């Protein structure tokens, strides 16, 4: 079972790695707080208000507020924001929020591709047909929240759709989330620097899907059973 300290160390190490590789231009190193009653939280260095991300407002407004308040762990060179937040109760994971907010302001890259085309970090964003949309991997294991099929313990939300909760087979670690983002949205850069990012591939959480959730389209991520077989 992964502990809060292990997850905190992952976030901190991965942040340092990405800074060292110059794939982000601003960062907030994580904090680990004991808030009492067996609850520990891994979050941003300061208390942050995430309510803007849940409001019925234009995506640009959401992005602008998150950027203004620096409510992110990492700000990528193209402006995308990455959040990684976890809560543990009695050393077991209770919730996490792993979010990717691409910049809605890609016109500079798309209108002047010759400036950026030689830089691996921009290879995927200079195409004019790119449509930025947010995605979020959430986990919430509280019994009063989990509802089979309707609100899976671990799920993926796309594009701020209120009822978009695609079942995910397990909670994600920071390493697997960062790998997912880099591999899929910065693939050219990922191919160049993946070997220089500290690997925690074998550190995983336990699977959480109900049998009924395996019968619908779902996302499979590395879990503790997978890690034990490696």
Q: What is the pLDDT of residues 136-152, one digit of tens each?
A: 999 999 999 999 999 99
Q: How far apart are CA 59 and CA 51, in angstroms?
A: 13
Q: What is the pLDDT of residues 94-141, one digit of tens each?
A: 999 999 999 999 888 888 888 888 788 888 888 888 889 999 999 999
Average pLDDT on 76-85 reads: 96
Q: Which of 117, 101, 109, 32 is nearest to 67 (CA)?
A: 101
Which tokens go with 123?
A: 């290879």
Q: How far apart are CA 55 and CA 28, in angstroms?
A: 24
* Spans of all domains in the chain: 4-229
pLDDT of residue 228: 47
Q: How far apart are CA 196 and CA 184, in angstroms?
A: 17
Q: What is the DSSP string of 187-212?
A: HHHHHHHGGGSPP-TT--PPB---HH
- Residue 42, beta-bridge partner list: 32, 86
pLDDT of residue 23: 92
156 pLDDT above the threshold of 50: yes
pLDDT of residue 116: 85
Q: Which of 113, 219, 229, 207 is nearest to 166 (CA)?
A: 219
Question: Average pLDDT, whole number, for the chain?
Answer: 92
- Residue 86, beta-bridge partner list: 42, 96
pLDDT of residue 154: 98
Q: How far apart are CA 12 and CA 35, in angstroms?
A: 20
19 pLDDT above the threshold of 70: yes
Can you give the C-alpha Rg of the chain in angstroms?
18
Q: How far apart are CA 151 and CA 218, in angstroms?
A: 13
Compute the C-alpha angle 183/196/76, nearest 5°: 55
Average pLDDT on 152-163 reads: 95
pLDDT of residue 227: 47
40 pLDDT above the threshold of 90: yes
Q: What is the pLDDT of residues 52-75, one digit of tens each?
A: 666 788 999 999 999 999 999 999
Contact indicator for 6, 22 with CB cutoff of 8 Å? no
At 223 the three-state DSSP class reads coil
Q: What is the DSSP string of 127-196?
A: STT-----EEEEEE--TTT-BTTTB-SEEEEETT-TT--EEBSBPPPHHHHHHHHHHHHSHHHHHHHGGG
pLDDT of residue 125: 87
pLDDT of residue 184: 96
47 pLDDT above the threshold of 90: no
């Amino acid at each position: 079972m992964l502990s809060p300290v292990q997850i905190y160390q992952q976030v901190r190490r991965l942040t340092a790695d990405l800074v060292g590789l110059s794939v982000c231009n601003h960062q907030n190193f994580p904090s680990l707080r004991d808030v009492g009653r067996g609850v520990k939280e891994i979050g941003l260095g300061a208390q942050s208000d995430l309510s803007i991300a849940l409001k019925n407002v234009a995506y640009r407004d959401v992005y602008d507020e998150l950027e203004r308040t620096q409510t992110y762990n990492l700000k990528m060179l193209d402006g995308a924001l990455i959040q990684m937040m976890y809560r543990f109760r009695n050393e077991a994971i209770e919730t996490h929020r792993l979010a990717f907010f691409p910049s809605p302001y890609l016109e500079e890259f798309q209108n002047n591709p010759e400036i950026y085309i030689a830089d691996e970090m921009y290879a995927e964003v200079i195409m004019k047909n790119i449509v930025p949309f947010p995605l979020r991997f959430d986990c919430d294991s509280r019994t009063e929240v989990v509802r089979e099929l309707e609100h899976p313990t671990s799920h993926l939300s796309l594009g701020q759709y209120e009822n978009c909760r695609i079942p995910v087979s397990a909670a994600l670690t920071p390493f697997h989330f960062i790998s997912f983002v880099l591999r899929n949205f910065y693939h050219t850069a990922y191919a160049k620097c993946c070997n220089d990012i500290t690997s925690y591939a074998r550190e995983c959480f336990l699977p959480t899907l109900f049998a009924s959730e395996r019968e619908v389209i779902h996302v499979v991520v590395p879990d503790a059973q997978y890690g034990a077989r490696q």
